[in-house]
Amino acid sequence: MSRVPRRRRGPGALPPGPRLPAWVQTLMWLLAPVKFGVSCMNRYGPLFTARILGFGDVVYVGTPEGIRRILKDEAANFDAAAANECIDFIVGGHSLLMSHGDEHARRRKVLMRPLHGGNVDDYVDVMVSIVEQEIRQWRAGSRVRLIDCFQRVTLEVMIRAVFGITDSARLARLRVLVPKLLDVNPLLILLPALRREFGGRGPWAAFQRMLREVDGIIFAEIRERRAAADPAADPAADPAASGSDVMSLLLAEGADGPGLTDQELRDHLVTLLAVGQETTATQLAWFFERVLRAPGALGQVADAVAREDRKYLDAAIHEAIRARPTTLDLGRRSVERWEADGYSFPPGTMFAVSLGLLHLSGDLHAEPEVYSVERFFPTEPPSAHFLPFGGGRHRCLGASLAMVEMRTVISTILRHVRLEPARSEPEGVAPKGPMLVPRRGAEVVVTRNELVRGAVPAAPGRG
């Protein structure tokens, strides 16, 4: 498709973009973000401007060079926290997402140890048991919406492996509350004026009630963990003898020093939950939706699982992430004036670093709509063309956990179950808050399940 030629770039000029009213562009951005973004990229190029209510003029950057400069080379000039202010009421002021500069580096260092690859490997057995318990519910011949199953699985992994909660009442309540909490009304994010109680009615009041209950469970768990490890309460207690879950490891960080406050710990844990649980569930759903429809791909991935070929499995996962991103953009706000592609952007400009559009670019990936593991195996594409977890100092801290979880879930399913798509046509992309999910939930038919034997125990999240 031919692109609109660049206009004259005078002082304060922004890259071209749609001339539609801001409310129309916002609607398109909310209802069909991939179609909107790709059509703008095809028409205006990988640097364009959209007008989004609540954010104003947003400059989209989808070039490898521009993304590298913002995320790595000149990262100090771009404030991620300022771009994330719209979700501070969910993750809290101490969240890594709300940090910039030295404060971000300090908080990131605190979180690195519990999310290091070696610690994450300790969660594999728990993950396998959770997946097996879920798929025992799948009967041969039945239809299954994979996204629903994976949301239960990833939530269970979070509250057991990350939070380390074992109390049955708290587990049961979190299984109900967390999906509702993360399914926040997008209008509350875009329009701060709606964040009012209105006499205890409306979406903000309902959200606040859920948030208070979730926080109550988390703070109660933190208090009990601290009390159990307090030498004053139990002189025989060993502060180093903590569990392997993330909460225990973060608490152990303060055994010989001030450590984290209860509020800091809560904000870190909720951040991991907010950015990790539904993202991983959605990516798993897209993985099967894509693999099941690509000729020969399912058999090749199943063979790789059987021979424990992690390189091929990772290639299959990466191609699914490229072909069907769960989100499109990372927000950044410039701190100082920034020059790019002949434009001079003033301080305070909002940028959308569009990793999704980078991955869907026909200039970088031939036939980007086609799922093909060969893009990543045996040779991977240039690293600048594929950034599944971002890059630079703000690269996703939960990348190791996400990859281990996806490998484990996929391998466990393919060792026991055979699936086929419920319909021949591919599933479209549907927005669900910030997530881009399969329109029909990655619906499949179970053709064989070797785990179904005799009595079936209750699956996580079903009481």
SS (H, E, C) 221-289: HHHHHHHHCCCCCCCCCCCCCCCCCHHHHHHHHCCCCCCCCHHHHHHHHHHHHHHHHHHHHHHHHHHHH
What is the chain's mean pLDDT, rounded?
A: 88
The set of residues, in sequence order, having a beta carbon less than 8 Å from that of 99 and lying 6+ positions away, is 80, 81, 107, 108
Of 4-13, 119-128, 267-276, 310-319, the range with the lowest mean pLDDT is 4-13
The set of residues, in sequence order, having a beta carbon less than 8 Å from that of 154 and lying 6+ positions away, is 276, 277, 278, 280, 281, 284, 405
- Measured CA to CA, the distance from residue 222 to residue 90 in angstroms comes to 19
Model pLDDT for residues 406-432, shown as the tens digit of each residue: 999 999 999 999 999 999 999 999 998
Instruction: State the pLDDT at residue 199.
Output: 80
What are 368's two structure tokens?
Answer: 């980007």
Q: Is there a contact between 436 and 325 (Cβ–Cβ < 8 Å)?
A: yes
DSSP state of 85: G
Of 112-121, 128-137, 401-410, 427-436, the range with the lowest mean pLDDT is 112-121
**CA 430, 433, 437, 443: dihedral to nearest 10 degrees?**
-90
CA 100 to chain centre: 20
Q: Is there a contact between 92 and 270 (Cβ–Cβ < 8 Å)?
A: yes
Instruction: State the pLDDT at residue 303.
Output: 97
Instruction: State the pLDDT at residue 438.
Output: 97
Instruction: State the pLDDT at residue 240.
Output: 35
The answer, yes or no, to whether residue 109 has pLDDT greater than 90, is: no
- In the chain, % of residues over pLDDT 70: 91
CB burial of 131-162 (b: ≥16 within 10 Å; e: otherwise) equals bbbbbbbbeeeeebbbbbbbbbbbbbbbbbbb
The answer, yes or no, to whether residue 230 has pLDDT greater than 90, is: no
Instruction: State the pLDDT at residue 12.
Output: 67
The answer, yes or no, to whether residue 339 has pLDDT greater than 70, is: yes
Identify the CA nearest to 316 among candidates 257, 375, 370: 375
Phi and psi torsions of 414, nearest 5°: -70, -20
Best-predicted range by mean pLDDT (9-23, 155-169, 179-193, 373-387): 373-387
Instruction: State the pLDDT at residue 254.
Output: 62
Sign (positive or negative) of CA dihedral 309, 310, 311, 316: positive
- Measured CA to CA, the distance from residue 370 to residue 430 in angstroms comes to 19
What are 189's two structure tokens?
Answer: 């994010």
Model pLDDT for residues 34-58, shown as the tens digit of each residue: 999 999 999 999 999 999 998 999 9
**Is 259 or 443 the better-scoring residue by pLDDT?**
443
Instruction: State the pLDDT at residue 264.
Output: 93
Instruction: State the pLDDT at residue 289.
Output: 98
**Is 387 or 198 the better-scoring residue by pLDDT?**
387
Q: Is there a contact between 75 and 391 (Cβ–Cβ < 8 Å)?
A: no
- Measured CA to CA, the distance from residue 302 to residue 420 in angstroms comes to 13
Distances in Å between the Cα of 350 and the Cα atoms of 79, 130, 354 are 10, 41, 12
Model pLDDT for residues 262-306, shown as the tens digit of each residue: 999 999 999 888 888 899 999 999 999 999 999 999 999 999 999
The answer, yes or no, to whether residue 239 has pLDDT greater than 60, is: no
The answer, yes or no, to whether residue 238 has pLDDT greater than 50, is: no
CA 328 to chain centre: 11
Global pTM reads 0.89
Sequence spans of domains, the chain: 22-449
Burial class (CB in 10 A: 0-12, 13-18, 19+), 333: buried
CATH class belonging to 22-449: mainly alpha
